[in-house]
Amino acid sequence: MTERLTPLELMTKLISFPTVSRDTNIPLIDWVADYLASHGIESHRYIDPEQPKHALFAHAGPWEEGAVVLSGHTDVVPVDGQAWDTDPFTVTEKDGRYYGRGTCDMKGFDALAIWALVEAHYAEVNRPLQIALSFDEEIGCTGAPPMIQAMQGVVPKGSAVIVGEPSTMQAVTGHKGGIGFNTHLVGFEVHSSLLHTGVNAIMAGAKLIEWANDVNSDNMAAKPTETAAMFDPPFTTAHVGVIEGGTAHNITAKDCKFAMDFRVVPGEDKNKWGTAYLKKVREVEKQMQDVVPETYIETSTRFDVPALQPEKDGEAEQIVRQITGDNASHKVSYGTEAGQFQEAGYSAVICGPGDIAQAHQPNEFIEVAQFEAGHDFMRRLLTRLQG
């Protein structure tokens, strides 16, 4: 019989693949597919037609609808410029922690999900279990929607999705949605002593960024809705994290590029914020063209992630609460693939080992105790599926 790897052995293997979002994840997916096949589990793929990225999904148990789906992503953020004390792509145990890129976000959960699927196969569970491993979550949750679509009709549709983003094994039942726009302003270069005859793309872009500051100030000052009050912060936010452009200090900048991102509380229409931003873009563009007609602003959608709406008597939430005993209310401001599963007709909840504060950090880690709590959760889930 093929060896059944432990969750730690599985995590160690997964982390050895440097699946930074800018690079391929196919070697990791190939390995997972081969490992599952060695245990008699057939896996299926969604193959991205435009880049070397694959998603994988698989089913164990009776061939019927109603599976519990364990959802994780295979990509990780870069380690470039971060000061690591250990090899980020080797799991290192030290002081009660497992260090490595993805231990927390979220190959630790992926390993537990793979372990649980194999165990479900051998246990001959009465209710099916599925795993769904996506790509490009870290750059806007763009890999999950085509994967979810590809699952339909290939495996029986599941009913309850547990997205294993790090939540310290608490049941997170809501998160903000998001929409983001790549923005490229094209100005007109002149010597800065004659700036009134040119168009400085950076200074024009600053008007859009200042608009975002005003949006944040207005939203912060407004009384939050009942739903918004569940989140921290309790309002929709606009943000620019990176900006580039310009040629020299004494030349009006020809180019300015940045991304404008919105994190939108559930119940608000994220497209409303996109429309408002694009309206402001056209206003600033007109001001630019009044000086030099050939200047312009280009925008493209960078990501579009639906919120996870709190469900009334949601099945996924009930499963997690019954296993963990957690009956508190937890909401988060970051986005996940849970809202995308929910939009596709699944009940969804977030529950995974580790603390989101460690995600993306140098010396990323997951507490050994948290990893073991995740393992215990999977054991209890398997018992439930056998009932």
The residue behind tokens 């948290």 is 370
**Residues belonging to the active site:** 75, 137
User: Mean pLDDT across the chain, nearest whole number?
Assistant: 96
> Roughly what angle, to the nearest 10 degrees, separates helices 368-386 and 315-324?
120
Contacts of 361 (CB under 8 A, 6+ apart): 82
**Spatial distance between the Cα atoms of 84 and 69, rounded to a whole number of angstroms:** 34
Cis peptide bond N-terminal to 106, omega within 30: yes
| 99-105 mean pLDDT | 98
Residue 248: both structure tokens together: 């020299």
Residue 267: the pLDDT is 86
Which of 280, 251, 238 lies closest to 190 in space, CA to CA?
A: 251
| 286-294 mean pLDDT | 98
CB 56 within 8 A of CB 45: yes
Prediction pTM value: 0.90
Which of 139, 123, 120 lies closest to 131 in space, CA to CA?
A: 120
- Pairing state between β 365-367 and 129-134: unpaired
HSE of 4, CA atoms in CB hemisphere, 13 A: 14
Backbone Cα Rg of the chain: 23
Residue 329: the pLDDT is 85
Provide the β-strand partners of residue 271: none
| 256-271 mean pLDDT | 94
Has residue 1 got a pLDDT over 70? no
**Spatial distance between the Cα atoms of 20 and 61, rounded to a whole number of angstroms:** 32
**Which percentage of the chain shows pLDDT scores above 70?**
100
Residue 387: the pLDDT is 84
**Spatial distance between the Cα atoms of 381 and 119, rounded to a whole number of angstroms:** 11
AA identity, residue 325: G
AA identity, residue 153: G
197 pLDDT band (50/70/90 cuts)?
very high
**Spatial distance between the Cα atoms of 296 and 279, rounded to a whole number of angstroms:** 14
Residue 192: the pLDDT is 96
Has residue 315 got a pLDDT over 90? yes
In order of 24, 180, 205, 284, 344, the CA distances from 298 in angstroms are: 28, 13, 12, 12, 31
Has residue 383 got a pLDDT over 70? yes
Has residue 175 got a pLDDT over 80? yes
**Spatial distance between the Cα atoms of 258 and 284, rounded to a whole number of angstroms:** 15
Residue 177: both structure tokens together: 């949605």
Has residue 128 got a pLDDT over 70? yes
pLDDT in tens, 26-68: 999 999 999 999 999 999 999 999 999 999 999 999 999 999 9
Residue 131: the pLDDT is 98
pLDDT in tens, 3-15: 999 999 999 999 9
Cβ neighbours around 231 below 10 Å, total: 20
**Spatial distance between the Cα atoms of 185 and 196, rounded to a whole number of angstroms:** 17
